[in-house]
């Protein structure tokens, strides 16, 4: 199991370096594809992956990514309202075939998966995005690693005993501090290439610290959804890791966190 997880992890890192480093169409297509797969996994938990509200959800996700690609974000609210109207029409016309929870999750999933993950691509397309985008991975995976190490060594107080019995408050604090320090080290080496950031070391440290806090909420939120519906993993697409949402659950939160933190800090 460990070997499978390790090999999958190495492949994921290699793909991330290639696709995120390339940016442009490759990253856009990968982001849209991962979002659709993640949306499918979420809808499958709700047993609606092939139902009409779910199909409408896939269409709305693709429509949203179309706006992102053509830089027409001003129409996002139009898509959101139109999608909600469509879902409510499906709900009324087919009543009582679909429950309120299914209609709600169909709408929620677009923002939880597609919109939030799209900020990986949007951060890459920012000025200095070729360097700033890696803060998403540093704050997400760096926080996970640091929290695990600190928690193993010093963890005594449970962070969320029902959702994740092994997570500790000490580990959570260690993850935030570790991620902020990784952001500082990253800026120490690459800050000279960030022409649009006034103080790269400070900005990257604060952005990674903020994102690390939010990433842990994202991780626990994904666990809460799984526990509510008695599933262990969202899928089995990534050997040793589970599904897309199992691997990228915290990144769904760190991507927009880094994007908006840098927007205000730069």
The span from the CA of 242 to the CA of 224, in Å, is: 16
- Answer for the pair 222, 194: CB distance below 8 angstroms, yes or no: no
Q: DSSP assignment of the chain, as one string?
A: -HHHHHHHHHHHHHHHHHHHHH-HHHHHHHHHHHHHHHHHHHHHHTT-TTSHHHHHHHHHHHHHHHHHHTT-GGGHHHHHHHHHHHHHHHHHHHTTSS-HHHHHHHHHHIIIIIIHHTHHHHHHTSTTHHHHTHHHHHHHHHHHHHHHHHHHHH--SEEETTTEEEEEHHHHHHHHHHHHHHHHHHHHHHGGG-TT-SSHHHHHHHHHHHHHHHHHHHHHHHHHHHHHTT-S-S-SSBTTTBSHHHHHTTHHHHHHHHHHHHHHH-
pLDDT per residue rounded down to tens, the chain (266 residues): 556 766 877 888 888 889 999 999 999 999 999 999 999 999 999 889 999 999 999 999 999 999 999 998 889 999 999 999 999 999 999 999 999 999 999 999 999 999 999 999 999 999 999 999 999 999 998 999 899 899 898 888 888 888 888 889 999 999 999 999 999 999 999 999 999 998 999 999 999 999 999 999 988 998 899 888 888 888 777 776 788 898 888 899 999 999 999 998 87
- Answer for the pair 198, 136: CB distance below 8 angstroms, yes or no: no
* β partners of residue 242: 238
Contacts of residue 89, Cβ cutoff 8 Å, sequence gap at least 6: none
The span from the CA of 186 to the CA of 128, in Å, is: 14
Q: Rounded to a whole number, what is the largest CA-CA distance in the chain?
A: 60
The span from the CA of 109 to the CA of 131, in Å, is: 29
Task: Please report where in the chains the tokens 């460990």 appear, as a residue.
Answer: 2
- For 66, the token pair is 């179309």
pTM, rounded to two decimals: 0.93
pLDDT of res. 62: 96
Q: Where are the domains of the chain?
A: 1-21+128-266, 24-124
Query: Sign (positive/negative) of CA torsion 237, 248, 168, 187?
Result: positive
The span from the CA of 264 to the CA of 198, in Å, is: 11
């Amino acid at each position: 199991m460990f070997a499978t997880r390790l090999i999958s992890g190495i492949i994921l890192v290699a793909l991330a370096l290639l696709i995120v480093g390339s940016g442009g169409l490759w990253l856009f297509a990968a982001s849209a594809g991962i979002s659709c797969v993640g949306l499918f996994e979420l809808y499958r938990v709700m047993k609606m992956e092939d139902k009409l509200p779910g199909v409408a959800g896939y269409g709305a996700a693709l429509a949203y990514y179309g706006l992102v690609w053509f830089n027409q974000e001003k129409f996002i609210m139009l898509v959101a309202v139109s999608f909600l109207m469509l879902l409510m029409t499906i709900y009324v016309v087919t009543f009582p075939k679909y429950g309120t929870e299914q209609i709600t999750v169909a709408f929620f999933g677009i923002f939880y998966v597609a919109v939030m993950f799209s900020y990986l691509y949007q951060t890459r397309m920012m000025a200095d995005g070729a360097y700033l985008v890696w803060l998403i991975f540093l704050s997400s995976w760096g926080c996970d690693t640091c929290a695990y190490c600190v928690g193993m060594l010093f963890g005594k107080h449970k962070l969320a005993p029902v959702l994740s019995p092994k997570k500790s408050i000490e580990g959570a604090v260690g993850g935030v501090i570790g991620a902020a320090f990784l952001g500082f080290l990253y800026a120490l080496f690459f800050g000279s290439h960030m022409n649009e950031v006034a103080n790269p070391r400070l900005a990257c440290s604060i952005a990674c610290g903020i994102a690390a806090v939010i990433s842990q909420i994202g991780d626990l939120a994904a666990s809460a959804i799984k526990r509510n519906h008695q599933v262990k993993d969202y899928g089995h697409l990534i050997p040793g890791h589970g599904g897309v949402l199992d691997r990228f659950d915290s990144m769904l939160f760190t991507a927009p966190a880094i994007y908006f933190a840098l927007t205000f800090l730069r």
